């Protein structure tokens, strides 16, 4: 079995979704909102369970599971497909000073991948890691929440808006989460 596949359908996984070439897309609020809205939809319509999350400038960390069908792989596939198409559409239609450069990068990435036709937004591999022990789960939870601190964006994890750290500190975050116990 591959280390980079979701093998246990009932498992809890740490995944990282990375923009191709590490393009800093999520420096614009409208692109972050596309990701947040899609995560909410996956929670409500597809049974995605989010335990922790963080959106950085060019990647997204999640600790997730699923409550029902479809599979977690299917949910991630649909999420990536939808968000990539919506973000590309927004780049094309909304004011964006980096438009030509970003579209060129996403187009170049698509040419290297037979699964895409015009643009590739997300890297293909999510590098899912099943969280099989409490120690590993706590390590990944800390890693997610401390990512903005380590990047020098905020001094305290709870101050980063696009993360579940505030939920774990007793405030309400932007997404509904289930707490890791």
Query: C-alpha distances in angstroms, 118 versus 100, 107, 112, 134?
Result: 14, 6, 11, 42
> Quick check: is 30 in a domain?
yes
> Quick check: is 5 in a domain?
no
> Quick check: is 68 in a domain?
yes
> Quick check: is 102 in a domain?
yes
What is the model's pLDDT at position 68?
A: 85
Q: Walk along the chain (181 residues) and give the pLDDT tens digit of each residue.
A: 345 688 898 999 999 999 999 999 999 999 999 999 999 999 999 999 999 999 999 999 999 999 988 999 999 999 999 999 999 999 999 999 999 999 999 999 999 987 777 999 999 988 899 999 999 999 999 999 999 999 999 999 999 999 999 999 999 999 999 998 7
Which residue range forms the structural domain that includes residue 132?
A: 13-168
Q: Structural domain tally of the chain?
A: 1
The DSSP output letter for 25 is -
> Quick check: is 59 in a domain?
yes
What is the model's pLDDT at position 2?
A: 43
What is the model's pLDDT at position 180?
A: 86
Q: For the whole model, what pTM was predicted? A: 0.94
Q: Is residue 117 classed exposed, middle or buried when 0-12, 13-18 and 19+ CB atoms within 10 A define those classes?
A: exposed
CATH classification of the domain holding 31: 3.30.70.1290
Alpha-carbon span 132 to 148, nearest angstrom? 25
> Quick check: is 8 in a domain?
no
What is the model's pLDDT at position 106?
A: 97
Alpha-carbon span 175 to 181, nearest angstrom? 18
> Quick check: is 39 in a domain?
yes
> Quick check: is 181 in a domain?
no
């Amino acid at each position: 079995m591959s280390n980079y596949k979701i093998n246990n359908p009932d498992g809890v996984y740490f995944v990282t979704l990375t923009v191709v070439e590490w393009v800093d897309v999520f420096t614009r609020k409208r692109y972050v909102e596309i990701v947040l809205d899609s995560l909410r939809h996956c929670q409500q319509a597809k049974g995605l369970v989010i335990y922790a999350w963080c959106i950085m400038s060019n990647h997204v960390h999640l600790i997730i599971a699923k409550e029902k069908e479809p599979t977690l792989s299917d949910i991630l596939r649909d999420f990536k497909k939808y968000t990539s198409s919506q973000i590309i559409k927004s780049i094309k239609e909304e004011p964006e000073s980096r438009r030509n450069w970003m579209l060129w990068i996403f187009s170049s990435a698509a040419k290297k991948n037979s699964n895409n036709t015009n643009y590739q937004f997300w890297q293909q591999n999510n590098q899912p890691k099943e969280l099989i022990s409490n120690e590993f789960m706590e390590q990944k939870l800390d890693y997610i929440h401390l990512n903005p601190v380590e990047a020098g964006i905020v001094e305290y994890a709870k101050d980063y808006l696009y993360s579940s750290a505030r939920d774990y500190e007793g405030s309400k975050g932007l997404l509904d989460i289930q707490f890791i116990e």
